[in-house]
Amino acid sequence: MSGLGKALRFSAEFIAGVIAGAGVGWALDQVAGTSPWGMIVGLVLGFCAGMLNIMRAAGELNRKPRSGRSPGDGRGGPDDGAR
């Protein structure tokens, strides 16, 4: 994956978390009448969720595959014990 692709993925992961948190906080404010506290808490939680999403995505991109095939694809390798 190119550098631009990584940057777009990370920014989308972060923005999605913040928007989702803000939306949930706004909805809570509308239902409970606690404006602006629900939105503030939602934005903070959305920010935290966005950062967690970025860390997970970065971990997936940095993980090196152990072999050329995907895990659990059913093909036996030289050390799978089948003879």
What is the band of 37 on the pLDDT scale with cuts at 50, 70, 90?
very high
76, part of any domain: no
Please enumerate in sequence order all residues whose Cβ is within 8 A of that of 42, keeping only pairs 6 or more positions apart, or say none: 21, 22, 23, 24, 25, 26, 28
What is the chain's mean pLDDT, rounded?
85
pLDDT score, position 19: 96
pTM over 0.75: no
For 52, the domain range is: 14-62
Under DSSP, is residue 3 helix (H, G, I), strand (E, B) or coil?
helix
75, part of any domain: no
The count of domains in the chain is 1
Please enumerate in sequence order all residues whose Cβ is within 8 A of that of 75, keeping only pairs 6 or more positions apart, or say none: 69
58, part of any domain: yes
Cα torsion for 14, 16, 21, 26, to the nearest 10°? 140
What is the band of 71 on the pLDDT scale with cuts at 50, 70, 90?
low
28, part of any domain: yes
What is the band of 63 on the pLDDT scale with cuts at 50, 70, 90?
confident
